[in-house]
């Protein structure tokens, strides 16, 4: 089958499933689930794949809500990645309901278009993007083994091929003090909350002095048990981010030092742990060009990143460190709407969002086909990846 014919077939394959894909996106939107708890979503996506005669392996990589489906024979291997977790208090304020449905649509359409073409497509259902770094666990568990290219899309308010996704480290700090009656014998206590707040103030002061493209922010997760007890424990979860991985290493030290100094000043013990390390997203140019061309053929023009655009961070960064990958944004709304907001959650279930989801499914499947039909393409993607790494 020629490339034009295959792409027509891909578009038809997604259009024929429009009703089911829309239903999946809307049902997952109506059942928001947090990281590693996406049982409804992974079940709904797997059940539909099984109805479509896909061989589905649930609990991939030992994660209850991860799954894998694979099709094709020999040749190169393209992975299409789905996400489906939600945000606490905001539901699908990041639109991952659309990512899961698009990935399933892309996988099925690509599978049907393979039709004798050498090559394999692997759908990877990835839990826990918002927290927990699900893809990092799947990478470690070998779920990305043999993958030559990893493709996904993310909903946004602008069509953007090469988004700035910052490197990120999460820091848990716990101050341990000594409880005492806050009125009778406060001088017998060591105030863990005051220690934490002093560290927080130092971090706030530091923020004026850090590069304007870098971030330090967080929440207090434990501020004590009762106002009449000197808190013997206080804790915060913080995130430190930068587009520059070496500057991030420096910033991590400076943020931690804020809390170390505060612990010393207040006589508290400081416990800390770094986790959820996300790498910078490294967009693979040959794959991005192919995706942009396919999106263009479907009527969407992808724009390069503007200096002011930042999208936060993602565990897809770690995937793009390991192998060639892309994480383009496609707009689901006409007007700018910030992500991680109530308004974005509302936008993620509109007819316009569903239309973008189906367009993304087509563009992803067409890009997968481009890689599999032309072995030189996978080679170019690998060379660009290796060149960037060295
Ligand atoms: Zn997201």
- Tell whether 246 and 319 lie within a shared domain: no
Ligand 1 centre and the CA of 255: distance in Å?
25
Domain membership of residue 247 as a residue range: 167-277
Distance between CA atoms of residues 357 and 363, nearest Å: 10
Which CA distances in Å does 368 have to 72, 107, 121, 162?
12, 9, 8, 18
- State whether 154 and 24 are in the same domain: yes
227 and 143 part of one domain: no
Rounded to the nearest angstrom, the distance between the alpha carbon of 171 and the centre of ligand 1 is 20
d(CA 35, CA 173): 21
Identify the domain boundary among 233, 257, 277. 277
* CATH number of the domain within which 75 lies: 3.40.630.10
Same domain, 57 and 203: no
Ligand 1 centre to CA of 181 (Å) is 45
How far away, in angstroms, is 389 Cα from ligand 1 center? 25
For residue 48, give the H/E element and its range: helix 39-51
Last residue within a domain, chosen from 259, 277, 295: 277
User: Over its length of 390 residues, how does the chain's per-residue pLDDT go in tens digits?
Assistant: 688 999 999 999 999 999 999 999 999 999 999 999 999 999 999 999 999 999 999 999 999 999 999 999 999 999 999 999 999 999 999 999 999 999 999 999 999 999 888 999 999 999 999 999 999 999 999 999 999 999 999 999 999 999 999 999 999 999 999 999 999 999 999 999 999 999 999 999 999 999 999 999 999 999 999 999 999 999 999 999 999 999 999 999 999 999 999 999 999 999 999 998 999 999 999 999 999 999 999 999 999 998 878 889 999 999 999 999 999 999 999 999 999 999 999 999 999 999 999 999 999 999 999 999 998 999 999 999 999 866
149 and 297 both lie in a single domain: yes
3-state secondary structure of 317: helix
Same-domain status, 288 and 146: yes
Span from the CA of 128 to the centroid of ligand 1 (angstroms): 10
CB-side exposure of 233: number of CA atoms within 13 Å? 5
Here the CATH number for the domain that contains residue 220 is: 3.30.70.360
Same domain, yes or no, for 13 and 84? yes
| Same-domain pairing of 260 and 318 | no
User: Phi/psi zone of residue 75: left (φ > 0), alpha (ψ -120 to 50 degrees), beta?
Assistant: left
Contacts of 251 (CB under 8 A, 6+ apart): 210, 214, 216, 240, 242
Rounded to whole angstroms, the Cα distance separating 239 from 216 reads 6
- C-alpha 294/C-alpha 267 separation (Å) is 60
- Distance from residue 34's CA to the centre of ligand 1 (Å): 12
Verify that 25 and 104 share a domain, yes or no: yes
Question: Nearest-CA neighbor of 357 among 28, 102, 80, 97?
Answer: 102
Domain stop point among 217, 244, 277: 277
Measured CA to CA, the distance from residue 245 to residue 254 in angstroms comes to 14
Number of structural domains in the chain: 2
């Amino acid at each position: 089958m020629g490339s034009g014919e295959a792409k027509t077939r891909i578009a038809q394959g997604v259009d024929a499933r429009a009703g089911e894909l829309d239903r999946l996106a809307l049902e997952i939107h109506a059942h928001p689930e947090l990281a590693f708890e996406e049982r409804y979503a992974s079940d709904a996506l797997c059940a539909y794949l099984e109805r479509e005669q896909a061989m589905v392996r649930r609990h991939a990589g030992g994660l209850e809500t991860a799954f894998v489906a694979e099709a094709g024979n020999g040749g190169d291997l393209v992975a299409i990645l789905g996400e489906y977790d939600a945000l606490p208090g905001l539901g699908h304020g990041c639109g991952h309901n659309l990512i899961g449905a698009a990935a399933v649509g892309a996988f099925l359409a690509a599978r049907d278009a393979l039709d004798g073409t050498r090559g394999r497509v692997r759908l990877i259902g990835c839990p826990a993007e918002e927290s927990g770094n699900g893809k990092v666990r799947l990478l470690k568990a070998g779920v990305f083994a043999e993958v030559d290219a990893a493709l996904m899309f993310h909903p946004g308010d602008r069509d953007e091929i090469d988004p700035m996704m910052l490197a990120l480290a999460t820091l848990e700090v716990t101050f341990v003090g000594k409880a005492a009656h806050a009125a009778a014998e406060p001088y017998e206590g060591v105030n863990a909350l005051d220690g934490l707040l002093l560290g927080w103030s130092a971090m706030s002061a530091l923020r004026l002095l850090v590069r304007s493209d870098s971030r330090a922010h967080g929440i207090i997760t434990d501020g004590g048990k009762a106002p009449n007890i000197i808190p013997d424990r206080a804790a915060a979860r913080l995130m430190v981010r930068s587009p520059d991985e070496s500057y991030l290493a420096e910033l991590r030290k400076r943020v931690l030092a804020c809390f170390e100094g505060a612990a010393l000043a207040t006589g508290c013990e400081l416990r800390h742990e770094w986790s959820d390390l996300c790498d910078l997203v490294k967009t693979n140019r040959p794959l991005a060009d192919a995706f942009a061309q396919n999106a263009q053929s479907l009527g969407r023009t992808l724009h390069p990143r503007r200096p002011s655009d930042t999208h936060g961070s993602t565990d897809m960064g770690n995937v793009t460190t390991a192998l060639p990958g892309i994480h383009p944004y496609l707009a689901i709304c006409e007007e700018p709407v910030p992500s991680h907001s109530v308004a974005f959650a509302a936008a993620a279930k509109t007819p316009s969002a569903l239309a973008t989801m189906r367009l993304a499914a087509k563009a992803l499947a067409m890009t997968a086909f481009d890689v599999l039909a032309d072995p030189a393409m996978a080679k170019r993607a690998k060379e660009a990846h290796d060149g960037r790494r060295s």
